[in-house]
Amino acid sequence: MSKELTEYQGPATMEKITSLAKRRGFVFQSSEIYGGQNGAWDYGPLGIELKNRIAQTWWKEMTRRHDNIVGLDAAILMHPRTWEASGHVENFTDPLVDCKKCKTRFRADHLPPKNLAEKQCPECGGELTGARKFNLMFKTHIGPAEDSASIIYLRPETAQGIYVNYKNIIQSSRVKIPFGIAQIGKAFRNEIVTKNFIFRTCEFEQMEMQFFVKPGTDEEWFNTWREQRWGYYEKLGVKMDHLRWRRHGPEELAHYAKDAWDIEYLFPMGWRELEGVHNRTDYDLSRHTEFSGKDLQYIDQDHHNDRYIPFIIETSAGLTRTLLMLLCDSYDEEKVLAEKDSGGSEGAASPEEWRTVLRFHPAIAPVTVAVLPLMKKDGLAELAEDIRGGLKEDFTTDYDQAGAIGRRYRRQDEAGTPFCVTVDYRSKEDGTVTLRFRDSMEQVRVPRAGLGERIRQEIKEYKRIK
């Protein structure tokens, strides 16, 4: 087995990623003109494209590729009894400690053991308070009265919306155990420590799939889903030596879990959780049976109408955290020769320059193709617009006619655009264009007519080279 990495291997730092994300319109601080809102971020034009693309690849992977997994979009606001049944009202707490001197607040479970034992602040050496339990659920009121009868929570996980709909789905979709329900949606947690950009935020999105199985088959399915989820990151072209499994020890298992494994990614700030795969047993459905008074047993019509409460295997990934992971994973800086267009633009010998490039898999890149006319004049801009028009239906496209062609390639590299199509004078004569590849910077001449097909093929066959 290869040795485990201890440090992030790429050139990315959180400062560089945060600055690029803002500069290029991936992610902005929420309410920035008012000084920003802690724990909340806004996704700009490139960010929302990237987020949508991650969600689409996950949805395809988890639903379209599996005949026995269906989708759901449940409401964020749920009956408050849901959260009593799920155990969140009682147990969804973080242990908090404060430094009496510098007033910094920490999660006790995130403190180095030495500081915890000696009650000493890792920032200033001051004395720490004892740990207090702090519930992470956001509480608000529904309706005009602000009393205890009107309390409602913003959901802290999407999972419960799936559990309370499990019978509806069985009755309406003809699914049979084993089957899964997938959902992507917002979740809210009153996180006290929200550093590291979008890693841990108060408002975030989850991509969860809950798989319902017969008790006794749960361990086998648990392993199957672990393999499947690992394979997903492989397909996305993530650096696999930056991923690892970590099993939860008995002391950190959530109140509902029999077994839990995290997929961790080596971020610039170290190994951190990206996704959890959990064996939630029959805990949730048993509790909902108890609290709602509804019978949530599964009736197995293929096996003598056997009745049982299914076990649930959960795969729970953060969508916004995956976006951060992909920004870090794809970020690269390299020295390259300045580029020209292959169609005959004039210029001296190419000097060397640095480029920043996001090596996204083309299937998730925010913009798939950028169309660039070599010149604005002589009908090249119109021709380029026309070519872009032909690609729009099938791909997210961009158009850029400002500045030297090399500068425009650099801008697209920084946005992670895998393909550029350059339109030059030759294009007007023979109907060919230059197709330029982001990773290799290779340029090939291709007929305009087959462009869409060629790009589709390139996406399918994409292999990351660095």
Q: What is the contact surface with ligand ATP in residues (CB under 6 A)?
A: 157, 189, 191, 200-201, 204, 206, 273-276, 316-318, 320-321
CB atoms closer than 10 angstroms to residue 397: 20
Work out how close the CB of 238 gets to ligand ATP at its nearest, in angstroms, rounded to a whole number. Answer: 14
Specify the 3-state DSSP secondary structure of 427: helix
Work out how close the CB of 382 gets to ligand ATP at its nearest, in angstroms, rounded to a whole number. Answer: 45
Work out how close the CB of 154 gets to ligand ATP at its nearest, in angstroms, rounded to a whole number. Answer: 12
Work out how close the CB of 320 gets to ligand ATP at its nearest, in angstroms, rounded to a whole number. Answer: 6
Handedness of CA 202, 208, 214, 217 (dihedral sign): negative
- What is the distance between the alpha carbons of residues 114 and 88, in angstroms, rounded to a whole number? 30
- In this complex, which beta carbon is closest to ligand ATP, that of residue 256 or of residue 409? 256
CA atoms within 13 A on the CB side of 342: 16
* Peptide bond preceding 178 in cis form (omega within 30 of 0): yes
- What is the distance between the alpha carbons of residues 253 and 256, in angstroms, rounded to a whole number? 8
- In this complex, which beta carbon is closest to ligand ATP, that of residue 322 or of residue 417? 322
Work out how close the CB of 110 gets to ligand ATP at its nearest, in angstroms, rounded to a whole number. Answer: 8
Give the pairing type, strands 419-423 and 331-337.
unpaired
- Helix (H) or strand (E) run with residue 453 in it: helix 451-460
Burial class (CB in 10 A: 0-12, 13-18, 19+), 113: exposed
DSSP state of 45: H
CB atoms closer than 10 angstroms to residue 416: 25
Least Cα distance to 141 among 131, 133, 153, 130 occurs for 153
Burial class (CB in 10 A: 0-12, 13-18, 19+), 37: middle
Which residues on adjacent β-strands are paired with residue 139?
A: 153
Specify the 3-state DSSP secondary structure of 58: helix
Work out how close the CB of 270 gets to ligand ATP at its nearest, in angstroms, rounded to a whole number. Answer: 13
- In this complex, which beta carbon is closest to ligand ATP, that of residue 211 or of residue 395? 211
- What is the distance between the alpha carbons of residues 352 and 460, in angstroms, rounded to a whole number? 32
Spatial contact of 169 and 70, defined as CB atoms under 8 Å apart: yes
Work out how close the CB of 393 gets to ligand ATP at its nearest, in angstroms, rounded to a whole number. Answer: 34
**CA 209 to each of CA 70, 131, 165, 174, 229: distance values in angstroms, whole numbers, following the listed order:** 9, 33, 13, 18, 11
- What is the distance between the alpha carbons of residues 196 and 38, in angstroms, rounded to a whole number? 12
- In this complex, which beta carbon is closest to ligand ATP, that of residue 138 or of residue 437? 138
Work out how close the CB of 273 gets to ligand ATP at its nearest, in angstroms, rounded to a whole number. Answer: 5
- In this complex, which beta carbon is closest to ligand ATP, that of residue 164 or of residue 207? 207
Work out how close the CB of 455 gets to ligand ATP at its nearest, in angstroms, rounded to a whole number. Answer: 31
- In this complex, which beta carbon is closest to ligand ATP, that of residue 200 or of residue 408? 200
- What is the distance between the alpha carbons of residues 370 and 46, in angstroms, rounded to a whole number? 13
Residue closest to ligand ATP (Cβ): 318
- In this complex, which beta carbon is closest to ligand ATP, that of residue 93 or of residue 396? 93
- What is the distance between the alpha carbons of residues 287 and 169, in angstroms, rounded to a whole number? 19
Work out how close the CB of 441 gets to ligand ATP at its nearest, in angstroms, rounded to a whole number. Answer: 34
DSSP state of 4: P
- In this complex, which beta carbon is closest to ligand ATP, that of residue 204 or of residue 395? 204
DSSP state of 30: T
Q: At what angle do helices 380-392 and 451-460 cross, to 10 degrees?
A: 50
Work out how close the CB of 302 gets to ligand ATP at its nearest, in angstroms, rounded to a whole number. Answer: 33
- In this complex, which beta carbon is closest to ligand ATP, that of residue 160 or of residue 206? 206
- In this complex, which beta carbon is closest to ligand ATP, that of residue 135 or of residue 206? 206
- In this complex, which beta carbon is closest to ligand ATP, that of residue 230 or of residue 308? 230
- What is the distance between the alpha carbons of residues 25 and 120, in angstroms, rounded to a whole number? 40
- In this complex, which beta carbon is closest to ligand ATP, that of residue 229 or of residue 436? 229
Work out how close the CB of 25 gets to ligand ATP at its nearest, in angstroms, rounded to a whole number. Answer: 21
